[in-house]
Amino acid sequence: MQEISDIPECNGVPMVHQIPTISSLGHEFGIADKGVQILRPLLAYSKIELQDTCRAAKMPWVEDATNADPTLTLRNAVRFILSPSKARTEAESSELLPVALRKRSLIEISKRAAEMEQRVEEKAQECFNGCKISLNISSGTLNLEVPADVFRMISSTTGKDGEHHYRGWFKVTAALLRRLVRLITPTESILLPNLVSAVPRFLPQDLLEPTEKNHTQQSQIFLVSGVQFTPLGENTWRLTARIPMENGEAPELTHSDLLQRSYHLWDGRFWILLHNVSEQLEVKIRRFRKEDAERFYACFNPKQRKTVKAILGEFCPAKGRFTLPAIVAKDEGGRERVIALPTMRIKIPQKKIPRELQNLTCSVRYKHVDLGSHDLNKCRDPSTLSPLKESPSSSLLNISVRIPSCTFKVYLSAKGAVESGAWANVFLAWERPV
């Protein structure tokens, strides 16, 4: 049990699990703020100490009646076995158990484990802050570069005796992988032992023991808790969540969900709120599927289509685009049609949107994440861009691009090639009714 934790039963509940109405970036499309947490400041004190404190302060001691039922939970069963009976004191009851299972021994083991975990997490946090990361909150992807200094930090991990501790490297690297994966995974809880098998694929070959070098290569694609690590170069990866999506279909937000006019957490990654939802025409949010792509692209004119493909190709390459949320409505023939990719701020032309959805708008927040010492304002934010439109005086498409502290223009040719020099990001805007 942790001293500070979220409320697991409230996962996905807006304003409790996380607060999507507050953006950590200060922009319209930002990162949700953290929600309500449980604080347990009395974990370090025994029950007897707490009861004595209450008696000294003349406060009544209140105990949950369900704690007395050993059949209710596993914790209650253990408590019942370890608790003193009417015929003996707590000390006498404890003496009946093996030394390793007595309360003081368990508390000491728990304390040592917590101290070890804290040392590992602190080292992993230091390594995380040393990584070069680029989080794309519109597509839920992450570009990662691990400098050589970070791997040197990992290899400098030592045991209590001061000697190099090879297994300590694995623990620190697994904790680092968990910090990275948490930025984009839809999974709420990630257990450290489940990440150890991925460590040899992440560490350079010169840090591995000979037996592990024979079975792993850093250049290979590997999966960690539903996140795909795709090598882009030496010690460089692109992280994409939900690849392959077939391992778990993202849940849908139904028409009745969207009519509630509140934020909903889609796939554990994006908080989405639709405004002006029609009661007459059913609309829902599900993932963008491979079979949607052709009809979606066909809604744009040739120049726009090439631009849309260029942007998705750059920021959601290959199967990555099929992990995005899509706003879907049925056409006159009853077939589902994607009308928008809200996190990418891409919407089909207004004239092709059903009349009942002409005033539909959207607010989006990325899930709350801890970026450590990395600058939140370096997260890519597409919300302030101008709508995609044809330039009447040029064959190029003119798109405004928002970069923290500056706004400039990037021009895409009909082939989708970037005409300007170095650029950080390109997005299409979500059109809003005037």
Whether 382 is covered by a domain: the verdict is no
Cα(35)–Cα(383) distance, integer angstroms = 23
Domain end residue (candidates: 206, 241, 276): 241
Whether 111 is covered by a domain: the verdict is no
Cα(256)–Cα(242) distance, integer angstroms = 25
β-strands 361-366, 30-34 pairing: parallel
Q: What are the C-alpha distances in Å from 199 to residues 22, 57, 212?
A: 36, 52, 10
**pLDDT band, residue 217 (cuts 50/70/90):** low
Q: What percentage of the chain exceeds 90 in pLDDT?
A: 26
Going by the DSSP 8-state scheme, the letter that residue 418 receives in this structure is B
Domain end residue (candidates: 369, 397, 421): 369
Which stretches of 146-235 are DSSP H helices? 148-155, 166-181, 199-202, 210-213
Q: What are the C-alpha distances in Å from 126 to residues 122, 158, 175, 266?
A: 6, 15, 11, 31
The residue segments making up the domain with residue 331 are: 247-369
Cα(434)–Cα(361) distance, integer angstroms = 11
- Other CB atoms within a 10 A radius of the CB of residue 126 amount to 16
Q: What are the C-alpha distances in Å from 116 to residues 43, 44, 255, 306?
A: 18, 17, 48, 53
Section 348-357 average pLDDT: 89
Q: Is the pLDDT of residue 422 over 50?
A: no
Sorted by sequence, the CB contacts under 8 Å of residue 305 that are 6+ apart come out as 297, 298
Return the structure tokens found at 294.
């052709």
Whether 32 is covered by a domain: the verdict is no
Whether 60 is covered by a domain: the verdict is yes
Domain match, 85 and 132 both: no
Domain match, 75 and 177 both: no
Nearest to 263 by CA among 285, 279, 283: 285
Per the structure, the count of domains in the chain is 3
Domain match, 90 and 136 both: no
Domain match, 233 and 177 both: yes
Q: Is the pLDDT of residue 305 over 70?
A: yes
Domain match, 163 and 197 both: yes
Mean pLDDT, the chain, rounded, equals: 76
Q: Which pLDDT tens digit goes with each residue over 100-154?
A: 777 778 778 888 888 888 889 999 999 999 999 988 888 889 999 999 999 888 8
Q: Which pLDDT tens digit goes with each residue over 42-51?
A: 887 878 889 8
Cα(323)–Cα(320) distance, integer angstroms = 6
**pLDDT band, residue 366 (cuts 50/70/90):** very high
Burial status of residue 187 (CB atoms within 10 A of its CB: 0-12, 13-18, 19 or more): middle
Domain match, 83 and 144 both: no
Whether 227 is covered by a domain: the verdict is yes
Domain end residue (candidates: 345, 369, 393): 369
Going by the DSSP 8-state scheme, the letter that residue 196 receives in this structure is G
Residue 235 carries which side chain, given as an amino acid letter? N
Domain match, 251 and 339 both: yes
pLDDT of residue 125: 94
